[in-house]
Amino acid sequence: MTSPDTGRNIGLFIIGDEILSGRRQDRHFSKIVELLGARGLRLAWAHFLGDEREALTQALRRSFASGDVVFCCGGIGATPDDHTRQAAAAALDVPLALHDDARVLITQRCQDTAAQGSGTADMSAPDNVRRLQMGEFPVGSEIVPNPYNKIPGFFIRDHTFVPGFPIMAWPMIEWTLDHRYAALHHAVPHIEHSFMVFELAESRIAPVMETLEHRWPGVKAFSLPSMGDGKRRHIELGVKGEPASAAEALAFLQDEVRRLGGEFGPPPTR
């Protein structure tokens, strides 16, 4: 795996027509940001995609070529509206094949449910044949363990594919972060500071932000204005970057706010 100091991006695909239509609300984005943040990592990009095989194939082809670390949530089932496994194989120009480890795990799952009085342990039964299709991954894949029901996801070329169900997806992503990418955890020191300012137009602080980023190239300044929402208009101003430089840039930004007549408010709540 590439050294942590190369600054590889981490991306996220959230897949499913039900998300785009609003039938279900996405819960993955904020959780993945949280899981990454706990390990000193940040999300560089995220895309929402529908269950359309060609569009999925094109998006995955680009992400495989990027060298990014990518998490893909959704569409790896075995119903006709699930296309992610097939799209990943097409993007890599490799066939799908039943993974040996996946076959064992899915068989164990079927045996467990049969022992509980649901279904059959006969793997030639039509329902179980379809369940085995969930273990057909692009050739060269490795499995991603699923602690919820044993039916695994898959990993290939720095892409981790998990189900759309949060109860399955989140522990699978945590497992991947901790087992495959532990070397990246907290590898690049990073901190974020922000504060509230009242009675200061964003246009007045913009030149200060430009000066700040020129003076501290490794630091980014940000401005999140509010239109009031029934309260006084205000701006959340902040900086993010390497801790020592960010602290210097923060002091500079606060001094410039005072010089421009801005009124400080209480710290922003999350």
pLDDT tens digit at each of 270 positions of the chain: 333 334 689 999 999 999 999 999 999 999 999 999 999 999 999 999 999 999 999 999 999 999 999 999 999 999 999 999 999 999 999 999 999 999 999 999 999 999 999 989 999 999 999 999 999 999 999 999 999 999 999 999 999 999 999 999 999 999 999 999 999 998 888 889 999 999 888 999 999 999 999 999 989 999 998 876 566 788 999 999 999 999 999 999 999 999 999 999 876 665
Task: Report the pLDDT value the prediction gives residue 6, as an integer from 0 to 100.
Answer: 41
Q: How far is CA 41 from CA 9, 32, 51, 247, in A?
A: 10, 10, 29, 20
The answer to whether 72 and 160 have CB atoms below 8 angstroms apart is: yes
Please report the pLDDT score of residue 228 as a whole number: 61
- Residue 63 · residue 70 · CB < 8 Å: yes
The residue among 148, 141, 143, 73 whose CA lies nearest residue 109 is: 148
Q: Which residues contact 201 (CB under 8 A, 6 or more apart)?
A: none
Terminal-to-terminal C-alpha distance of the chain: 35
Tokens 């940040």 correspond to what residue?
Answer: 42
What are 146's two structure tokens?
A: 């699923």
Q: Which of 14, 112, 2 is nearest to 66 (CA)?
A: 2
Classify 6-184 by CATH class: alpha beta
Q: What is the pLDDT of residue 233?
A: 81
pTM for the predicted model, two decimal places? 0.84
Residue 1 pLDDT: 35
Domain residue spans of the chain: 6-184, 191-263
Does the domain at residues 191-263 carry the CATH identifier 3.30.70.1130? yes
